[in-house]
Structure 1
């Protein structure tokens, strides 16, 4: 099946897609946004991160991170960018449920859990190999470095945990496996299979590079592959959100305990 033909927008709601099936392109109406929308969201992400960084400033060594710094410095840029992505689908498409394949079903939870658990194993093995090759310092994420040696308040640590485990994965999946994936699908391909593989590869590579951690890009690629495979398996975003959340759970717990001073990150 080719992607050159699209049905007209559905007048009263969403197309009916089986929980265990991967939806065909023709089952969804066409949208008017593409790579330009994704680039806009990336610019918003980088610009808001830079602005918030200047606004918040850097706390001194050994000083606790206030709740405002956690909220603004780690959560706000990604949330703003995800909000712009959702707005794009409303203004130039059919809304996020259709354009970003955000329809919820329990089958996607099962798939997401499966790929998320696989991702945990792959991430653990990848982190071990990476640490053996380049050292533990280079394997530390930017957020881990942010809270390293700084004891946070309980509310701030709880907010950080919620962001890493739930809020961050939802926002990042909207941007990369939602908006960017949809931009790839909008192109005309010989087959849907080829298109989905291209979307998987591109979204995985851009997701890893967008963290702006050059030393960890290879490790991030390994971590991102199972998340993308969850999206590929179902054709819907919920599965990759669940996989991403599962993958982030143990690191989020480790950072939470480290920030509270219970363990060392």
Structure 2
């Protein structure tokens, strides 16, 4: 299917590029390592629920903050540089592609599980929560993070900062789609799930491609994350294992 031709205004040039994306990724990885190390030595004792929430959410939020800061210091601000202009048509496009992505993800997950075997195609976070359910209050926090906040932060980094760095090199939007999708999948550092993450990322990147703006991909990502977010909430309530 050929994406519809969308008239997208060319944003003013900015002075940030791949270096800003690399910095954001370094902040994400190093902050996660620091938080894990600061939580104490590895032992057979259960991980404190607050630590699970902080280690999961804070690194991605810090990395998204770096993305925004880069546009403020070396560009035109996040609204222009990261293509954050809001419009209802973009939201509707994100909803449609997000729902299509849910179907595609369900099919891919079934194929993945059948191919890999007994391994569960759920995320590392879901595995941790399944082994040690969170208190209800923290479960609600993780539900909101997994559904709404995490996807928005990841889109700022990958379909915002990384996509803009690729555009700055005057590469095609198809190159931006392919590279951002591949790097998104690999950067989750879950090798067994990389192929599944590639499939999950395609509708999200497509939303960015066809609209030329970030809100559509944010909405598509949030729709895709709704089901796993509900799963985490149900695990926290002890209603699903």
TM-score over 0.5 for the pair: yes
Segments of 4+ moved more than 3 angstroms = 57-61
2:147 corresponds in structure 1 to 165
1:136 deviates by 4.3
Which of 127, 148, 171 pairs up with 2:130?
A: 148
Q: Which residue of 1 aligns with 2:74?
A: 92
Pair 1:48 & 2:31 matched: yes
State the Cα distance separating 1:53 from its structure 2 match: 1.1
Distance 1:59 1:21, change over 3 A: farther
Counterpart contact for 1:115–1:230, Cα < 8 Å: yes
RMSD across aligned positions (CA): 1.6
1:29 aligns with 2:12: yes
Structure 1, residues 82-111: CA drift from partner, whole Å, max 9, x if none? 001100000000000000000111111100
Mapping of residues 103-182 of structure 1, within 5 Å: 103-182=85-164
Match of 2:220 among 243, 248, 251: 243
The CA deviation string for residues 52-108 of structure 1, in whole angstroms up to 9 with x for no partner, is 1112246856x4743x21331110000000001100000000000000000111111
Instruction: Name the structure 2 match of 1:209.
Output: 186
Give distance in 2, aligned partners of 1:60 and 1:224: 35
Give, in whole Å, the separation in 2 of the partners of 1:60 and 1:230. Answer: 43
Q: Structure 1 residues 168, 136: closer, same or farther in 2, change over 3 A?
A: farther
Scaled by the length of structure 2, what TM-score is found? Answer: 0.93
Aligned equivalent of 1:257: 234
CA-to-aligned-CA distance 1:95-134 (integer Å, 9 cap, x gap): 0000000011111110000000000000000000000010
* SS of alignment partner, residue 137 of structure 1: coil
Q: Which runs of 5+ in 1 are unaligned?
A: 1-19, 190-194
Q: How many residues align?
A: 236
Residue 211 of structure 2 is matched in structure 1 by 234
TM-score (norm 1): 0.85
Q: Which residue of 2 is the match for residue 220 of structure 1?
A: 197
Query: Which has the higher mean CA deviation after the structures are superposed, 134-143 or 115-124?
Result: 134-143
